[in-house]
Amino acid sequence: MYDVSIIIVNYNTYGLVLQCIESVIKNTSGIRYEIIVVDNNSPNREIENLNKVFPQVKLILNNDNSGFGIANNIGNKVANGKFIFLLNSDTIVIDNSIYELYKFMSENPHVGACGGNLYDEKFKPATSFTRFMPSLISDLDSLFFNIISKVLYNGDIFHSSSNKPFKIFGNISGANLMIPKLFFDEIKGFDENYFMYYEETDLLFRLRKQGYTTYIVPSSKIIHLEGASESFKPNKWDWSFESKRKYYLKNKSNFEFTISSFIFMVMIIQRIVIFKITKNDEKLTYWSSLLRWFKSK
């Protein structure tokens, strides 16, 4: 049995997968681990060459692009680790970060999940968590430029400036999420009704409902190469909106979803006005595109 099963989902990111695996091998010690790569039927079939480069990796070729949650569930079925570690393909592991998460989880058996601090490619803080789960409070916080979370958490609203682990009640990025396999199996893994987005949010909600706590371990540092530029991508917003609707209807109510959507529309209009006044053309273009998309829903 392994200490950790590292599951990486791939869709047309073969080069990133190679880089990610190389960083895991180079910067992970002190634990027994396995790497499982689940390919979501990538049109680019380079992934079929993976075992020529890393023969030790378990490669699963999915027949469909079934989304993030289902792919991780597939990976979990062949996992033999005490913990599973969900790792995005566009990440680079540094400073034995996987061991840091494993050590914390091993010493705190009551914890249901944990994640670390994420950084961009210039090693600047990237979104690692949110302080609130999706709710009217989180919507109002976003509307007023995160003033609520800034006051309550001394400015640490998406990334920790401390090295001390702390309990988190909001979301943890699915780019680096460690969970005891026993607990993951207990709640039957990801809800497969989500294609992309909100699946880890729903997972954390159900873990906490079972009485498990969730933590951020800032000593675990991982680079997340996800693009930071604001470019409007309708497909991603379509997936996000649909997943948000599913999350609210499952865990909250249609009334709360309606109010949340209204606050979001107000925020869009607010941002457009602000960026018109400040003559920020790039952000104005983005938010104007978002408004047109939102009106089509």
Long-range CB contacts (within 8 A, 24+) of 277-282: 282/230
pLDDT tens figures, 91-131: 999 999 999 999 999 999 999 999 999 999 999 999 999 99
Could you count the other beta carbons within 10 Å of the beta carbon of residue 242? 16
- For the chain, the domains span 2-224, 234-295
Residue pair 113/207 in contact by the 8 Å Cβ criterion:
yes
pLDDT-derived band at 229, boundaries 50, 70, 90? very low
Pairing state between β 91-93 and 213-224: antiparallel
pLDDT-derived band at 232, boundaries 50, 70, 90: low
Distance CA 261, CA 266 (A): 9
**Percentage of residues of the chain with pLDDT beyond 90:** 93
Amino acid at 177: L
DSSP symbol at 25: H
- Three-state SS string over 83-135 comes to EEEEECCCEEECCCHHHHHHHHHHHCCCEEEEEEEEECCCCCECCCECCCCCC
Q: Is the pLDDT of residue 228 over 70?
A: no
Q: State phi, psi for 114 to the nearest 5 degrees.
A: -150, 160
Report how far residue 3's alpha carbon sits from residue 269's, in angstroms, rounded to the nearest whole number.
49
Q: What is the DSSP secondary structure assignment for residue 57, as one 8-state letter?
A: S
pLDDT at residue 80 tops 80: yes
| Amino acid code (one letter) for 258 | T
User: Cα torsion for 21, 25, 27, 30, to the nearest 10°?
Assistant: 130
- The enclosing H or E element of 69 equals helix 68-77
Distances 33 to 2, 22, 88, 98 between C-alpha atoms, Å: 5, 14, 16, 10
Report CA 149 to chain centroid distance, whole Å.
20
User: In the prediction, which pLDDT does 65 show?
Assistant: 92
pLDDT of 227 > 70? The answer is no
pTM of the model: 0.93
Identify the band that residue 230 occupies on the pLDDT scale cut at 50, 70 and 90.
very low
Domain 2-224 = CATH 3.40.1280.10: no
